[in-house]
Every structure is written in C-alpha cells, then in structure tokens.
C-alpha cells in the first residue's frame, strides 16, 4: 500500500508561504515599480479571460488591482488573436492533450492540473506572479493546493468508491531573455492522495525546455522539448479496470515556425510534433497502447479585411502502435478551411472545418471519413466579465471498445469579477461520444462553479463544486460524480 506523504505537502506549502512573506517584507514600493519596468510583455502577460480595455493601460501590481486578480486566477487564458488575425495555434503538447476528449471528460479537473499558461503563438511557459531575479534569470514559483471530497473516484454505477482528497500542484518557470529571444525551463507537479483509496493515488510530473526565437521581423521559430510522467486514472479508459492507475511516460519534441510579419496580409505557419509514449505497469491491459506518433501541419492565413482573415490548413497524423497485433495503427489526414475574426479587444472568434480521413492498416477495421471542426467565440461585454464558447469534433483512437470514437464537445465558460478581490467562474461541458464498431453512444455532461477571493496580491482562496454525469446506451456505463473542494493558490 502506498504511504501518503503529508510531510511533503507541509514542506512545500510552508516553503512557498515563507518565501512569499520574506519577499514582501524586503520589497520597497520604488523597487517593485522599477522591477515592473524591467520585465517585458512575457513577465506581465495576463492569463485571465478578462482583458483590459485597449485604450487603458494595465495598472501597476498593487493589492486589490483587478489585473492582479486576473493574474492569480487558475482559469485558462482566453484565445487571443494578434493584430494580423492569426490564431497561431500552439503545437506544445501537454499531458492533457495526450488524452482524447472522451477521456478528458472523465478525469477530475484537479487531476488534469493547471500548468503554466501558454500564450497563442508562443512555445514557452509563462510564470504566475512576480519573479525572483538572479543574474538575468526570472524565476516564477507558485503552488496550488486542493482539499475536498470525490464521491465516485473511478466513475462507476456499482461498487462506488468515495474518498476525501488532497491534491498539490507545485509549479516553477525559469525564464531567460537573450537578444530578443526567450527561453524557459519549467516543472509542473501534480500529486493526488485519496485517504480511503490509496491504490488510486497518483504522482504526475511534467518537465519542459522551450524557446521562442525571432530571426527577423518576419521569421519566428518556437520549439519545445517535454517529458511527461503521468497516468490514466482508473475508469478513464474503456479497457478492463486495472488494479491501479495506468502509468505512462511520454517524451515529445514540437516546433512552430511562422513566416510573415505581424502586419502582413499573408502568413505561413508550419508545426511539427513527435511523441514517444510508453506504459510502465499493468501490461495485461496497457501493452496494446504503447505509441509512437508524428503530427505535421501547415496553414496559410490571408487577411481579407482589417478584422478578418481566412485560413487553409493541411494536417497529417501518423499513429504507430507498437504491439504487432494492435489494429489501431492509422494515418489521419485533414484538410480544413477557416475564418478568424477579431472585432476589437472584447470580441473575437475563430472557426475551422473540413474533411478528415482516418485509414487503418488492419483490413478488418473500417476507415473513417467525416468532418472535423474547431470553433471559439470570446466576448467581454464588461471589463470585469468574459464569456467563451467553443465546440470541436474529432475522431479519436479506441481505448478498449470499438474501432474508433467520434467526440463532439460543446463548452461554455463565464468568468466575472465582482470586486477587486472576489471572482466567480462557471463552466459547462458536454461531450457526445459515438463508438464505431460497437453499439454504444455516451453523453458526458460536466458543470462546475467556483468562487475565489484574493487575500493578498500573491494569495488566493477558492471554493467550488463540480458534477459529472455520463449517460449511455449501455446499462453499465452511466455514473454520477460530485466533487466539493477548497483550494489555495500562492505565488510571489
């Protein structure tokens, strides 16, 4: 039985809080103001869905500033579109992106982790809070601690396991800027403990080295090297239930090359990714899912109006499953057309749709031909409120049932700041999964509500509730999961 390391929790949290207090005691207002002038757009990048008005300068970091409330929020960034109209879709591969939409819908939010924010068009991580500066390096430490209860850990309608939970997510980003280029080294940990079901405890680690390099005002290159030590929680896949979470290691290398200046009418983007994923336990259920994958895409973006651009994208994904008898090895080819609209700072949208063909090497498997789409709409009617709507359809490889799965996802996300210190967040996600080669259709609906309060510029408290419901045409698949949690997020 795995022993719970509460001492580790205590040490990490104590060290973070001590460093926060000591840094605040040593800071002088004038020094902080000078530091802010020395940091560039990356050090001050906002990660909230709440933008500042275009005509209003972002205020200095002072206690109670809405900008700081946005900086400390744990919600992901809004998709921002630059002046040229490009979405600049990232090819940075995280542990979350190695899961299909159906699997993501079944994994609790705290187990996915927040990670370091990644801005569109950037391959490097962006730190949270204020940095420590050592010989030209900017070091951003932060941590997020969850305490709560999970009413259905493995997502089943029989033999339900309920347990209190503790989850710790330490994060550190080390940044260096040299001759207009930016380089980062980052670590994101995610440690989950269940007091009544230690067999489901998990330790996740994500290491990344990345760079954003500017060769000329037209040519840019971003690159990322990653190592993930992660796991599939029990119940998140369709194969037989394992005695413990399925642990896997994945090494990735990805790049994004852009040619075209910010104000150019046309722009070309090429992205590439290689992934090497291997499971390290439960071979009786995981041997067939060791995978080598390559992903290559090229897109051309053409501005047809000051606020509107059109795009065409060609993509090929090769998935090579290492088990010789695996029928899942396939080639996925996509041709997509899209439009990008950036009306102003408060309203933007992007949508691309096209044909996808998935060819399997196993002649017993039916090849898939259908539609693939990805759309987002961002609207901020008030400076303190932001709404994001998104929808996707993607064909995913089977994880144990059927030949492949077509997942359609719709999501609505609303964030509102009630004051300089209080913020609320509502989220609704619905994923419909059609299993081809099996008589099964699932519908997974998840909604969450969270309220946050900023005690200090560097310390935020939150309370929230999440419910996940899955219905299915198969009688043993539906379940309900409720998660109630408190969280504390700290940075410098």
Q: Render pLDDT for 455-478 as a digit per residue (tens, 0 to 9).
A: 999 999 999 999 999 999 999 999
Pick 166 or 41 by higher pLDDT.
166
d(C-alpha 364, C-alpha 145), whole Å: 48
Tokens of 476: 């043993």
Quickly tell me which residue has 């007091």 as its tokens.
195
User: Which DSSP string corresponds to 326-354?
Assistant: -S--EEEEEEEEEEEEE-SSSEEEEEEEE
Pick 126 or 253 by higher pLDDT.
253
3-class secondary-structure state, position 59: coil
For 57, other C-beta atoms within 10 Å of its C-beta total 7
Among the residue ranges 119-128, 205-214, 300-309, 450-459, the one predicted with the least confidence is: 119-128
For 366, other C-beta atoms within 10 Å of its C-beta total 13
d(C-alpha 282, C-alpha 272), whole Å: 31
Whole-Å CA distances, 141 to 12, 188, 320? 11, 10, 38
User: Which DSSP string corresponds to 419-484?
Assistant: SSSEEEEEEEEEEEEEEETTTEEEEEEEEEEEEEEEEETTEEEEEEEEEEEEEESSTT--EEEEEE
Q: What is the mean pLDDT of the segment spanning 190-211?
A: 96
pLDDT, residue 149, reads 97
d(C-alpha 52, C-alpha 308), whole Å: 22
d(C-alpha 176, C-alpha 136), whole Å: 7
pLDDT, residue 106, reads 77
Work out how many domains the chain is built from and give that number. Answer: 1
d(C-alpha 184, C-alpha 225), whole Å: 11
Q: What is the mean pLDDT of the segment spanning 88-107?
A: 61
Give the residue among 101, 72, 19, 34 at the shortest CA–CA distance from 421. Answer: 72
pLDDT, residue 101, reads 73
Inform me whether the pLDDT recorded for 84 exceeds 70.
no
Q: What is the mean pLDDT of the segment spanning 168-187?
A: 95
- 478: Cβ–Cβ under 8 A, 6 or more apart, which residues? 157, 469, 470, 471, 472
pLDDT, residue 111, reads 80
For 347, other C-beta atoms within 10 Å of its C-beta total 14
Q: What is the mean pLDDT of the segment spanning 223-230?
A: 96
Q: What pLDDT digit, counting tens, does each position of 302-356 carry?
A: 999 999 999 999 999 999 999 999 999 999 999 999 999 998 889 999 999 999 9
The 10 Å CB-count burial string (b at 16+, else e) for 116-137 is bbbbebbbbbbbbbbbeeeeee
d(C-alpha 49, C-alpha 384), whole Å: 9
Give the residue among 207, 218, 205, 41 at the shortest CA–CA distance from 126. Answer: 41
Inform me whether the pLDDT recorded for 96 exceeds 80.
no
Q: For the domain that residue 237 is a member of, what is the CATH number?
A: 2.40.160
Inform me whether the pLDDT recorded for 236 exceeds 70.
yes
pLDDT, residue 354, reads 98
pLDDT, residue 412, reads 97
Pick 438 or 11 by higher pLDDT.
438
Mean pLDDT over each residue of the chain, to the nearest integer: 83
pLDDT, residue 263, reads 78
Which helix or strand (DSSP H or E) is residue 298 part of? strand 291-305
Give the residue among 188, 253, 201, 263 at the shortest CA–CA distance from 224. Answer: 253
pLDDT, residue 83, reads 32
Whole-Å CA distances, 156 to 26, 313, 435, 455, 463? 52, 40, 19, 38, 26
pLDDT, residue 115, reads 59
Cβ atoms of residues 459 and 489 within 8 Å = yes
The pTM of the full predicted model, rounded to 2 decimals, is 0.80
pLDDT, residue 121, reads 67
- The full 3-state SS of 466-483, as one line of letters, equals EEEEEEECCCCCCEEEEE
pLDDT, residue 95, reads 57
Inform me whether the pLDDT recorded for 26 exceeds 60.
no
Inform me whether the pLDDT recorded for 114 exceeds 80.
no
Tokens of 299: 């897109």
Q: Is residue 183 part of a domain?
A: yes
Q: Is residue 187 part of a domain?
A: yes
Among the residue ranges 11-20, 87-96, 101-110, the one predicted with the least confidence is: 11-20
d(C-alpha 332, C-alpha 395), whole Å: 9
Pick 322 or 71 by higher pLDDT.
322
d(C-alpha 101, C-alpha 429), whole Å: 11
What's the farthest any 2 CA atoms get from each other in the chain?
Answer: 71
Q: How confident is the model at residue 418 (pLDDT cuts 50, 70, 90)?
A: very high
Find the domain containing 319 and state its range.
6-491
- 244: Cβ–Cβ under 8 A, 6 or more apart, which residues? 199, 200, 234, 281, 282
pLDDT, residue 87, reads 38
Q: Is residue 424 part of a domain?
A: yes
Which helix or strand (DSSP H or E) is residue 316 part of? strand 308-321
d(C-alpha 328, C-alpha 289), whole Å: 9
- Per-residue DSSP letter, 60: P
Q: Is residue 1 part of a domain?
A: no
Q: Is residue 41 part of a domain?
A: yes
% of the chain exceeding 70 in pLDDT? 78
Q: Is residue 272 part of a domain?
A: yes
Instruction: Supply angle C-alpha 467, 473, 478, rounded to 5.
Output: 30
Tokens of 204: 């996740």
Give the residue among 71, 11, 14, 74 at the shortest CA–CA distance from 42. Answer: 71
């Amino acid at each position: 039985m795995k022993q719970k390391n509460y001492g580790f929790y205590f040490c990490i949290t104590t060290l973070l809080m001590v460093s926060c207090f000591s840094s605040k005691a040593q800071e002088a207002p004038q020094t902080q103001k000078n530091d802010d002038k020395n940091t560039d757009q990356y050090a001050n990048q906002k990660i909230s869905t709440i933008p500042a008005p275009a005509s209003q300068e972002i205020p200095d970091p002072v206690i109670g500033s809405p900008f700081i409330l946005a900086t400390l929020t744990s919600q992901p960034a809004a998709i921002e579109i630059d002046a040229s109209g490009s979405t600049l879709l990232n090819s940075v591969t995280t542990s979350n992106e190695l899961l299909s939409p159906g699997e993501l819908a079944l994994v609790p939010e705290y187990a996915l982790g927040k990670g370091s924010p990644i801005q569109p068009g950037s391959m490097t991580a962006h730190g949270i809070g204020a940095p420590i500066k050592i010989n030209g390096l900017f070091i951003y430490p932060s941590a997020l601690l969850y305490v709560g209860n999970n009413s259905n850990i493995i997502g089943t309608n029989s033999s339900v396991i309920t347990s209190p939970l503790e989850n710790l997510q330490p994060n550190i980003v080390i940044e260096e800027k040299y001759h207009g280029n930016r380089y980062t080294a980052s670590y994101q940990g995610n440690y989950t403990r269940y007091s009544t079901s230690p067999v489901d405890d998990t330790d996740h680690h994500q290491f990344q080295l990345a760079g954003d390099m500017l060769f000329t005002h037209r040519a840019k290159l971003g690159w990322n090297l990653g190592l993930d030590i992660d796991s599939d929680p029990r119940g998140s896949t369709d194969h037989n239930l394992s005695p413990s979470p399925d642990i896997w290691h994945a090494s990735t290398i990805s790049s994004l090359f852009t040619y075209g200046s910010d104000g150019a009418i046309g722009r070309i983007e090429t992205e590439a990714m290689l992934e090497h994923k291997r499971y390290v336990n439960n071979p009786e259920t995981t041997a067939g899912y060791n995978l080598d994958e390559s992903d290559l895409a090229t897109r051309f973006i053409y501005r047809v109006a000051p606020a509107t651009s059109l795009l065409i994208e060609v993509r090929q994904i090769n998935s090579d499953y290492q088990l010789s008898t695996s029928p899942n090895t396939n080639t996925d080819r996509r041709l997509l057309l899209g439009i990008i609209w950036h009306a102003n700072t408060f309203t933007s949208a992007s949508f691309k749709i096209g044909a996808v063909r998935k060819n399997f090497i196993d002649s017993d498997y039916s090849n898939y031909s259908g539609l693939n789409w990805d759309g987002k709409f961002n609207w901020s009617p008030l400076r303190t409120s932001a709404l994001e709507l998104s929808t996707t359809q993607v064909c995913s490889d089977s994880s144990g049932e059927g030949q492949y799965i077509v997942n359609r996802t719709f999501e609505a996300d609303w964030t509102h700041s009630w004051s300089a210190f209080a913020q609320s967040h509502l989220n609704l996600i619905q994923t419909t999964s059609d299993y081809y080669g099996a008589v099964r259709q699932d519908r997974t609906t998840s909604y969450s509500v969270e309220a946050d309060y900023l005690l200090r510029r560097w310390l935020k408290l939150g309370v929230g509730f999440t419910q996940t419901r899955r219905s299915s045409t198969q009688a043993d698949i539906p379940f309900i999961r409720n998660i109630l949690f408190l969280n504390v997020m700290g940075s410098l």
